[in-house]
Structure 1
Amino acid sequence: MKIVIDIDVPFLYEEIIINILKRLPAKSLIRFQCVSKHWKSLIKNPSFTAEHLDHSTHQNPCLLFEAIDRRTLNLHLLDCEMQLRRAPNHPLLDYLKRGWVIGSSNGLLCIDISMVDCISHHSLLLYNPAIREIRQVPTTCTDFHGFVGFGFSPIVDDYKIVKIYVDEAYDVEKVEVYSLRTGSWKGLELGILNGACVNSERFTANGAIFWFGFKRDLLGRNGDPVIISFDIAMEVFTLLPRPALVPRSYQNRLATYENKLALLSCYGIRNYESFFIELWVMEEVVAPSGGRWSWTKKYTSNPYPHFVRPMTIWKNEIVCKISTARGRENDNPNTVLFNLTTRESTELAVCRSDYVRHIFNYVESIIPVGGM
C-alpha cells in the first residue's frame, strides 16, 4: 500500500525558522531584522513576539537589580546561569541620571522620574531595555502624592498604570488608570476604597496589582490590615485579608508561589540576634463563615544571623537583601537566596559597588512600547 504525505514545505521551513529564532536573545533578533523584509515582518509579528516571550519566561527567568551609584540609576540582570550583566540604558535615562523602577512586566519597566532635578512634575516612562525602546507617559497633574502600580492583563492584552492619590494620612482620595493600548488616562470611582488607606509599595501578578493597606472603622480609626487588589482587566478594587497568624515583623513583601499570591514575612528573635523568613500562600476556598480566602504557611527558614529583607521569589528560592552592618553608615546590603526545597541559603556577590534598592522578577522580551 502506497502512502502519500502532503507536506507544505514553505510552512514547515518557516516553522523551523520560528522555532530557532524564538530561542535567541533580543539583541540578535534586532540584528536579524536586517536579513530580509520577510524576517523583519516575521520578528515584528505579534504572534512571534508572544512565542519569544513565552520561551523566555519558562527557559530564562531573570532577576533585575535596581542599583544606585552616586545617585545614578543602574540596572543589572542576573540570569539562570547566575551570570550578572549590566542592562542597557536608553540615552534618555543616561541623560536624566535618576529615577526608580515602579514595576516589571513581560520585559517592560515602568520608571518614575519625578525626583529628577529637571522634572518639575510627576512623570513616568515605559521602557523595554532589551530593545532600548522608551515611551513617556502623558502627565495628568503637577502635584502627585500617592502610590503607583504597573502590570499586564492577558484577558484584555493591555498594560496599565494605576495612580492612587492619598492625603497626608494615606487615605485614598482619587484613582487614575493609564492604558498603553489607548495611550490615555481616565479616572475611576473609589468604590470599596472609600475609607481605605494605602501604605506600601506595589506588587503585580496574575493580571492584578496589589498594595498593603487597611480599612478605617466608623470612628475613623485604623481597622484590620488588608491587601488591596486591582483587577487590571475589570478595573475594580477588592480588599483581601492578610494572614492572621503572621508574627510581628519589620518587613512584609508580596510575591507569587506556585502561581498563587504569597506573602513573605521576616521577624527577629532573642533581641534580634537571629531572623526567620516565613512564606504564606493564599488559597481560594468556601469557608463556613462565608469567607472566600484562606492563608496557609508553606515554609519557615532556618535562623539567619543578619537583618533580612525579603524581596521576591525566583526559581523556587526566596530572594532577600541582607545587612551585616545592621543599618549603620556605609551599609551596602548583599543578596541571599533561601532555597524552599533544601532550606539552604546562598549569598550572591552582586552589584557590590552599587546600592541595590529594589529587586524584580524580569524576563527579556521584544514587546514594543511604541516610543523612541
Structure 2
Amino acid sequence: MASFPIDVLVEIFLWLSVKPLVRFRCVCKSWNSLLTSPFFIKAYLERSIKLHKFDLLKYDFNNISRVQIHYSPKNELSNLNTSFIKDGEKFKLVGSCNGIACLSSFNGEIPHHSKIFLWNPSTGENITLPQPSHHVSNLVGFGFNPLSGHPDDFSIVNMNIYFEQHSNYTSQVEVYSFRRNCWKQLGNIFPPPLTRHIGNQVIFKNFICWCPCFYLDGELVAFLILFNVGQDDFQKIALPDIMPLGEKVISLLEGCLSVIAHNSSTENFEVWIMKEFGICKSWIKLYTTGVSTGRLLSYRPVGFANSGEVFFIHTFYMGLRFKSPSHLAPYNIQSEKFEEFNVEVDWYDTTQLVTCLESLISLSSTNNVKH
C-alpha cells in the first residue's frame, strides 16, 4: 500500500465509513497523519453529504431517553451508546452539524445539575461542556459558523428567561465557542415576545432557526426566530399571512428552510418552503399531506427523514382522559401512505429527528483541527 499515490489513497478512504478509517489510523504514522489532517477531515465532510448521511432519532420510552440511527428506506433502527450521560437522566437532542450532535439535559428541580454534551455518533467520542455562568436552560441552540473556514467552529446558545410581573421577562443569553473553549455572556437580547418553548431547531448556513408558535393576547402567533452564529445576535422573520396559523415544525427540505404547518380548518398538514432566504414573499406551498387529525385520532409531525419521509407521532384518544400509546409513524410522500414502524414513545415533546453526517471531527483538545 505504500506504493499507492497519495491522491489514489485519499479517494479510496473517502468512500469508506468512519469505523474502518479510525482503525486505519493505527496502521502507520503516515496514514494517521493523513486521516487526522484538516485537509482530509474537510474533504470527508464534503463527501459525507452525498454518501454518508443518516438520521438520528431521539425519543423517550418508559421514561428513559435513547438515541438510535434510523436507516432509510427500510425503516430499521440501530442503538447508539449514550452511557456518557448519567443513568436515568433524561435528555434531548438539540441538533447536529458536521457530524457532531449536541445533547442537553435539563433538571428543573436542580437546574445547576443540567448539562450540555457534544458527541460524535460515528466515533463515540464525547465531551461535557463547562458550566455557563447561568445554569443550563431548557432553551439551548446548537449551530456552526461556515464563514470561518473551520469545520469545528461550533457555537452553543444557552437562553435563560426570568419572568417578572405583568408577563414581562428578562433574559440572559450566553454563547459557548468550541474552538475557544469558553462562554461569552450576551446579556438580555432574547427577542420579545416569546415563551419558554420555541420548538425544534434547524441549522441553515450560519443561522440557528426556530419557528415558535404561542398565544399572545388570545391570538396564535408564529414567526421565524434566527440566531446568527457569526454575529451573536437574534432576528425575526415574519411568516406569510396565507400560511395556516396552526402548530408548526421547522425543517430543511430541498436545501431551503421549510415548515410543516397544521391547517386547523381542514385538519391536514401543509409543507411550505422559503425559496429565497429572508424573503417573506418567497414562501410557497409544496403540497398538502393526506394526513388529517381529529378529536379521537391525533397526528403531530416530528420532521423530515433523510429519505424525504415525514415522521409523525400517532395517538388514538379513547375519551377525555385516556389515550392509546403513542407511536412513531413514517409517512411516504410518494405513496401517501404510512409505513410499518412499530416504535412506541412516551410523548411528542421528547421526540426529535435530525439528519447527521459521518464525520472524523475530533472533540479532543489534543487531536482537534483547531489551529
TM-score normalised by L of structure 2: 0.81
Number of the residue aligned with 1:106: 98
Provide closer, same or farther for how the CA distance between residues 362 and 129 of structure 1 changes in structure 2, counting only shifts above 3 A: same
Alignment counterpart, residue 116 of structure 2, candidates 113, 117, 124: 124
After superposition, the Cα gap between the structure-2 partners of 1:294 and 1:366, relative to the gap in structure 1 and judged at 3 Å, is same
CA distance in 2, matches of 1:223, 1:304: 20
Shift of 1:26: 1.4
Q: 1:196 maps to what in 2? A: 193
Pick one of 357, 363, 368 that aligns with 2:362.
368
**Equivalent pair of 1:280/1:296 in contact (CA under 8 Å):** yes
Aligned partners of 1:269 and 1:119: how far apart in 2?
A: 40
Q: Distance in 1 between matches of 2:215 and 2:325?
A: 37
Report matched runs for 1:18-29 at 5 Å.
18-29=10-21
Match of 2:171 in 1: 173
Note the C-alpha offset of 1:18. 1.3
Choose the corresponding residue for 2:238, options 233, 236, 241: 241
Matched residue, 1:333? 327
Report the secondary structure of 1:93's partner residue.
coil
Runs of 5+ in structure 1 lacking a partner?
Answer: 1-8
Instruction: Specify the structure having the higher radius of gyration (Cα).
Output: 1
Distance 2:35 2:254 in 1: 31
Query: Are 2:97 and 2:356, in contact at CA under 8 Å, matched by a contact in 1?
Result: yes
Tell me the distance in 2 between the aligned counterparts of 1:33 and 1:215: 50
Which of 310, 330, 349 aligns to 1:319? It is 310
Larger deviation: 35-44 or 342-351? 342-351
What is the alpha-carbon distance in structure 1 between the residues aligned to residue 132 and residue 10 of structure 2? 41
Matching residue's letter, 2:257: L
- The structural deviation recorded for 1:170 is 8.0
- In structure 2, the residue matched to 1:255 is 251
Partner of 1:48: 40
Q: Do 1:285 and 1:293's aligned partners in 2 also have CA atoms closer than 8 Å? A: no
Q: What's the CA shift for 1:131?
A: 0.8
Could you say what secondary structure the match of 1:301 adopts? Answer: strand
Looking at structure 2, the residues matched to 213 and 90 of structure 1 have their Cα atoms a distance apart, in angstroms, of 29
Secondary structure at the aligned position of 1:155 is classed as helix
**1:309 paired to 2:308:** no
Greater displacement, 345-354 / 200-209: 345-354
State the percentage of identical aligned residues.
22
Measured in 1, the distance between the counterparts of 2:268 and 2:193 equals 30
**Are 1:209 and 2:208 matched, yes or no?**
yes
CA contact (8 A) 2:115 2:136 kept: no
1:297 aligns to 2:285 (yes or no): yes
Find 1:183's aligned residue among 178, 181, 184. 181
User: Does the 8 Å contact 2:304/2:353 carry over to 1?
Assistant: no
TM-score for both structures, normalised by structure 1: 0.81
Return the letter of the residue paired with 2:182: S
> C-alpha distance in 2, partners of 1:117/1:312?
30
1:320 partner letter: F
Q: Give, as a single letter, the amino acid of the residue that structure 2 aligns with 1:148.
A: V
Aligned counterparts of 1:105 and 1:236: Cα–Cα separation in 2: 20
Deviation at 1:223, TM superposition (A): 9.4
After superposition, residues 32-43 of structure 1 pair within 5 angstroms as: 32-43=24-35
- Provide, for residues 167-221 of structure 1, a one-character-per-residue CA deviation record: whole Å limited to 9, x for no partner: 3458451211111110111022555x4533243124122221122348999xx99
Tell whether 2:155 aligns with 1:164. no
SS state at 2:132 partner: coil
Q: Tell me, yes or no, if the aligned pair for 1:247 and 1:267 is still in contact at 8 Å.
A: yes
Q: Are 2:237 and 2:280, in contact at CA under 8 Å, matched by a contact in 1?
A: no
Q: Report the CA distance between 1:304 and its aligned residue.
A: 4.1
Seen in structure 2, the aligned counterparts of structure 1 residues 77 and 34 have a Cα distance that, compared at 3 Å, is same
Structure 2 runs not aligned, ≥5 long: 367-371
- Give, in whole Å, the separation in 2 of the partners of 1:150 and 1:371: 20
Counterpart contact for 1:109–1:128, Cα < 8 Å: yes
Give CA deviations for 1:61-90 in whole Å, capped at 9, x if unaligned: 222111324333221112245363434315
| 8 Å contact kept, 1:196–1:216 | no
Aligned pair in 2 of structure 1 residues 117, 24: CA closer, same or farther (>3 Å)? farther
CA–CA distance in structure 2, aligned partners of residues 149 and 276 of structure 1? 29
- Alpha-carbon distance between aligned partners in 2 of 1:201 and 1:19, rounded to the nearest angstrom: 40
